[in-house]
Chain A
């Protein structure tokens, strides 16, 4: 067990070593995207939106954008990123000649996206809190947990896509027809309660929606304990189930 954790940790660390070589390029989208949405939608569209739940539109958007960062950073890492490491750079072929096995690779990668999701969520939250969009900025560290719990199951979805696609271009289909629609239906931009029941049912299966609710509780300081209990519980369950399914599928790509 100790050996297993040690090897997982070294895979995470290897990814960090490579990631930090191109740090500016790698973190640009995670910083720029939420800023762009916040300015264009929050300020632009927000001028035409009456208050939601007694908040300005900017205040309403802030928590969702924070966890959406965790979704994107993790999904892209385990889809495009993992696929490139597996099929073009052959990184795993070399790793598998060491005591590392497929289990360590997959858990190590998921732990890596979890950490990345946590750090990104905290980073975005700090900026938003500075802009005065968070009621109690002391709750920022708690967003690391939310970022982690969103990034792991979303990362597992990326791995599932990796197991499924026949070439790297097919990720675009997964993104356009699954990830992007669910992003818009996760209660970031409007309360999901106004959508019809079938749409809500599908959206509820996506981990992001519970992450958004949890982040909203933290940003708005409303029902935090309850949100951690309910949404946190669902997210932990999704982490486990999604990771287990992804492991089963991707493992076949690594060990023939």
Chain B
């Protein structure tokens, strides 16, 4: 559905997206993961033509977004990073304006809006002004707006940033349902867990380049297999000593503690049984570890 080849977008001498090759297939949930400024939103904007590529090639549904963006935009829905709702208007007024924009016939609008408000648990708010809605409600309404046209491709640009866990889980549930119903989904996020929970396949972007690609489990198996134990920062020296002759152990530290990754769970429990170190937490390795490793924030023990 989306195919990018050596795709590059520069602002002056800065390459926001730097020679990306990727393909997003029909029916999959695909995530672009990366820190702020990695090029995720720029890539998304290029898909529907609000950013024009500097070089390389990009096709969406077989169309070129630079010259045929209207054809593309008829078939996709976007949960924008900013809500961008008209604050002084009511929920219904906002949605009616968008129905007009996407060209939904008048007689179908009311039914479609009410269906989706119901789906997002917002029916009771349809006469409310946007100003009177909570952050979570606004976000749900942006989902409604993105779904009005029954899109084949749904783009979620940081859909849950700044939301509380309850709303986040509710939205994840909805995204899964849409995915199961056959909608192709492209998600950008800097929450590793979100990508891990929702997506079939993902790329990690860093400074405009793809640093890894695959399914979440593949990526973990390939880059950071094993388990992670988190220890108190003051135990750093003891741990360093204990693992200095082992090449399957990796250490990463930050203000929250020392992160020790080993291939076997028993190596971590041994820290407790042999050295008396009490881990704060032991867990299987996850995408966060992959991310820290690939973006150069993890320290290899031999480094």
Interface band, chain A:
20 to 34
Contact between chains at B101 and A93 (CB < 8 Å): no
A6 CB–B CB distance under 8 Å = yes
**Which of A13, A90, A93, A97 has most chain B Cβ within 10 Å?**
A97
B33-75 vs A, Cβ < 8 Å mask (1 yes, 0 no): 0000000000001001111100000000000000001100110
Instruction: State which of B87-95, B188-196, B235-243 sits at the interface with chain A.
Output: B87-95
**Which of A13, A96, A100 has most chain B Cβ within 10 Å?**
A96
A146-172 vs B, Cβ < 8 Å mask (1 yes, 0 no): 000000000000000000000000000
A10 CB–B CB distance under 8 Å = yes
Partner of B88, one of A22, A94, A97, A100: A22
B208 CB–A CB distance under 8 Å = no
The residues of B that contact A254 with a CB separation of less than 8 Å are 50
The residues of A that contact B145 with a CB separation of less than 8 Å are 94
Bound form: Cα–Cα A89–B80 in Å: 13
Contact between chains at A90 and B80 (CB < 8 Å): yes
Contact between chains at A90 and B69 (CB < 8 Å): no
Contact between chains at A21 and B50 (CB < 8 Å): no
Contact between chains at B101 and A90 (CB < 8 Å): no
B172 CB–A CB distance under 8 Å = no
Bound form: Cα–Cα A18–B97 in Å: 11
Contact between chains at B51 and A99 (CB < 8 Å): no
B77 CB–A CB distance under 8 Å = yes
A14 CB–B CB distance under 8 Å = yes
Bound form: Cα–Cα A254–B88 in Å: 23
The residues of B that contact A94 with a CB separation of less than 8 Å are 80, 82, 84-85, 98, 145
Contact between chains at B74 and A99 (CB < 8 Å): yes
Contact between chains at B80 and A101 (CB < 8 Å): no
Contact between chains at B82 and A90 (CB < 8 Å): yes
Contact between chains at B93 and A17 (CB < 8 Å): yes
The residues of A that contact B84 with a CB separation of less than 8 Å are 89-91, 93-94
Contact between chains at B103 and A99 (CB < 8 Å): yes
Bound form: Cα–Cα A21–B94 in Å: 13
The residues of B that contact A100 with a CB separation of less than 8 Å are 73, 101
Given contacts A7-B101, A10-B100, contact A18 B49 (CB under 8 A): no
Bound form: Cα–Cα A255–B84 in Å: 17
CB of A222 to closest CB in B, whole Å? 45
Contact between chains at B49 and A255 (CB < 8 Å): yes
Contact between chains at B88 and A256 (CB < 8 Å): no
Contact between chains at B50 and A14 (CB < 8 Å): no
B14 CB–A CB distance under 8 Å = no
Bound form: Cα–Cα A209–B252 in Å: 71
Contact between chains at A93 and B73 (CB < 8 Å): no
Output the nearest chain B residue to A10 by Cβ-Cβ distance: B100
The residues of B that contact A14 with a CB separation of less than 8 Å are 86, 97, 100
CB of B92 to closest CB in A, whole Å? 11
Contact between chains at B70 and A99 (CB < 8 Å): yes
Contact between chains at B97 and A97 (CB < 8 Å): no
Bound form: Cα–Cα A3–B70 in Å: 10
CB of A20 to closest CB in B, whole Å? 10
The residues of A that contact B185 with a CB separation of less than 8 Å are none
Contact between chains at A93 and B103 (CB < 8 Å): no
B6-27 vs A, Cβ < 8 Å mask (1 yes, 0 no): 0000010000000000000000
Chain A to chain B: the 6 pairs with minimum beta-carbon distance, closest first: A94-B84, A97-B78, A90-B84, A98-B101, A90-B82, A10-B100
28 pairs from A and B in contact (CB 8 Å cutoff): A6-B103, A7-B101, A10-B100, A10-B101, A14-B97, A17-B93, A21-B89, A89-B86, A90-B83, A90-B84, A91-B84, A94-B82, A94-B85, A96-B48, A96-B50, A97-B48, A97-B77, A97-B78, A97-B80, A97-B155, A99-B74, A99-B103, A101-B49, A101-B69, A255-B50, A255-B51, A256-B11, A256-B51
Interfacial residues, chain A to chain B (CB-CB below 8 A): 3, 6-7, 10, 13-14, 17-18, 21-22, 89-91, 93-101, 254-256
Known contacts A13-B97, A98-B102, A101-B70; 14 additional CB pairs below 8 A are: A10-B101, A14-B97, A18-B88, A22-B88, A89-B84, A91-B86, A93-B82, A94-B80, A96-B49, A96-B50, A97-B76, A98-B98, A99-B73, A255-B52
